[in-house]
Amino acid sequence: MAKQEDKFKSVISHAKEYGYVFQSSEIYDGLSAVYDYAQNGVELKKNIREYWWKAMVQMNENIVGLDSAIFMHPKVWKASGHVDAFSDPLIDNKDSKKRYRADVLIEDYVAKLDAKIEKEVKKATKRFGDAFDKVEFLATNGRVLGYKEKGAAILKRMGQSLEKEDLADVKALIEELEIACPLSGSKNWTDVKQFNLMFGTKLGASAESAMDLYLRPETAQGIFVNFLNVQKSGRMKIPFGIAQTGKAFRNEIVARQFIFRMREFEQMEMQYFIKPGTQKEWYEYWKETRMKWHMSLGMGEENYRFHDHDKLAHYADAAADIEFRFPFGFKELEGIHSRTDFDLKAHEEHSGKKLQYFDHEENKSYAPYVLETSIGLDRMFLAVFSNSLQEEELENGTTRTVLKLPSVLAPTKAAILPLVKKDGLPEIARKIMGDLKWDFNVAYDEKDAVGRRYRRADANGTPFCITVDHDTLNDDSVTIRHRDTMEQQRVKISELKDIISKEVSMKNWLLKM
């Protein structure tokens, strides 16, 4: 646990030191769970967004984009169920005065059981060596089965109690499991209450005429209310999708995990409109397709898993999360939800307008069913960033800090380094930079010894260093150094563009899907 915490702390401090993420309004001691993306962070974030957009919109002729406004008519949130049901169960510890999400306290308890299972697996792997059969072990070992059953029973009971709004039972469960406040160890809890997560604001100049608005808590509703506009103007035929990226706002009860849970964050969502009755197939299809997108980034299969929901939201008939192994354990990164026709029907009812699709093949109109994929851009950023940050032991006994970002996402693709600040080398380096910057984000660095500049580029996640030396004056060649292997190659200046392009092109990465 301490190791995990250390790793998480180093992620946060590295993000600050290298210009990725800053606390918002830091000079005023910060604003809780609000963050700013700095010079490198904004590039990484942009690249992740583009990688998603390309895979979802550009590569699918039946998926189109949208950029709807953050402000929406307040009736939207009544229809969607957010006014009545977008709340989390909160509980306070009377001694520490700390506030928690009751469901998260229980889920963390279950995560500890999962960690115990992993420990058993590790022990058995050591004991049995090559003869160890993990699948068999997980299916038969008494202790493992005990932990699994206990965890499943706890989550089932919690799911049922939350669904029935039986908050007293959620508190009873916390007490029965003897869950203590992680900060103080106290088990002195208040009752569980529901807390609505939407931020309210006002539109209008005078107090009397002002209209109560909400900052959108998800981007999806902007898609639903525009469904027919897009379908008609784009002559879209079912199945088709509408994708959008943009800010969402939630007044989260507990926000102590850096950019994992923020009050202002960005979502990348896609709603796929389908024929009623086909939702199971499309649910499987999008689960698989989204997982392939994650896999294409090469961040380790073992770091992802599906988690099927026991407790379904009011709008869903099936839902799963893609969970990622963050520095604090496996947590939700993306949700795939089969939303039925709940949203379109609700908007029809509240607006009095028809939101139906005329199916020429079937010769009838209906409200399509919807399959949703929803991923937090900031969470994806944290997944990529934390997984990439590594402390590496080198052969000569020293260590290096390297940010092994998938090169397609790296903010800077190459650093161009004149070996010395004289003899015409800076001029050549500047010329190379001038050529490459049309195609890639590149940086120029002439300060310090070249070894230190390499380390700086490594820590910054830059996949290539290009060094201009005295031989360059005669042979038009430079040394290109690869971040991950530290291998160096002598290449012609004219080859640089192709070498970098091959390594960082979105096409080459997305082809791995």
Interface positions with ligand ATP (CB under 6 A): 218, 250, 252, 261-262, 265, 267, 332-335, 374-376, 378-379
Give 312's DSSP letter: P
- For residues 421 and 427, what is the distance between their CA atoms, to the nearest angstrom? 9
Q: How far is the CB of 140 from ligand ATP (least distance, A)?
A: 33
Q: How far is the CB of 367 from ligand ATP (least distance, A)?
A: 22
Give 406's DSSP letter: -
Q: How far is the CB of 173 from ligand ATP (least distance, A)?
A: 18
Residue 273, SS3 per DSSP = strand
Q: How far is the CB of 319 from ligand ATP (least distance, A)?
A: 8
CB closer to ligand ATP out of 33 and 493:
33
CB closer to ligand ATP out of 286 and 357:
286
Output the CA torsion 447→452→458→463 (10° steps): 60
The total of other beta-carbon atoms located within 10 Å of residue 104's CB is 18
CB closer to ligand ATP out of 8 and 265:
265
Q: How far is the CB of 193 from ligand ATP (least distance, A)?
A: 17
Residue 366, SS3 per DSSP = strand
CB closer to ligand ATP out of 101 and 481:
101
Contact 127, 200 (CB under 8 A): no
Instruction: Give the Å distances, CA to CA, from 336 to 194, 288, 321, 333.
Output: 25, 10, 6, 10
CB closer to ligand ATP out of 265 and 304:
265
CB closer to ligand ATP out of 267 and 467:
267
Q: Is the peptide bond before 406 cis (omega within 30 degrees of 0)?
A: no
Q: How far is the CB of 265 from ligand ATP (least distance, A)?
A: 4
Residue 411, SS3 per DSSP = coil
Residue nearest to ligand ATP (CB): 376
Q: Determine how β-strand 399-403 pairs with β-strand 414-418.
A: unpaired
Q: How far is the CB of 395 from ligand ATP (least distance, A)?
A: 39
Q: How far is the CB of 349 from ligand ATP (least distance, A)?
A: 22
Residue 285, SS3 per DSSP = helix
CB closer to ligand ATP out of 45 and 261:
261
Q: How far is the CB of 249 from ligand ATP (least distance, A)?
A: 9
Contact 367, 357 (CB under 8 A): yes
Q: How far is the CB of 419 from ligand ATP (least distance, A)?
A: 44
Taking phi first (over 0 means left), then psi (-120 to 50 degrees means alpha), and beta for anything else, what does residue 185 get?
A: left
Q: How far is the CB of 112 from ligand ATP (least distance, A)?
A: 18
CB closer to ligand ATP out of 376 and 463:
376
CB closer to ligand ATP out of 101 and 453:
101
Q: Which two tokens stand for residue 370?
A: 């919807």
- For residues 229 and 17, what is the distance between their CA atoms, to the nearest angstrom? 46
Q: How far is the CB of 316 from ligand ATP (least distance, A)?
A: 10
CB closer to ligand ATP out of 304 and 464:
304
Q: How far is the CB of 266 from ligand ATP (least distance, A)?
A: 8
Q: Which of 88, 93, 105, 84 has its CA nearest to residue 193?
A: 88
CB closer to ligand ATP out of 44 and 333:
333
Tell me which H or E stretch contains 321. strand 318-326
CB closer to ligand ATP out of 324 and 357:
324
Looking at residue 455, its amino acid is R
Taking phi first (over 0 means left), then psi (-120 to 50 degrees means alpha), and beta for anything else, what does residue 426 get?
A: alpha
The total of other beta-carbon atoms located within 10 Å of residue 444's CB is 15
Long-range contacts of 309-316 (CB under 8 A, 24+ apart): 310/155, 310/156, 310/159, 311/158, 311/159, 311/160, 311/162, 311/163, 313/337, 314/81, 314/85, 314/342, 315/81, 315/339, 315/340, 315/342, 315/343, 316/340, 316/342
**Residue 56: CB partners within 8 Å, gap ≥ 6?**
63, 241, 243, 268, 270, 373
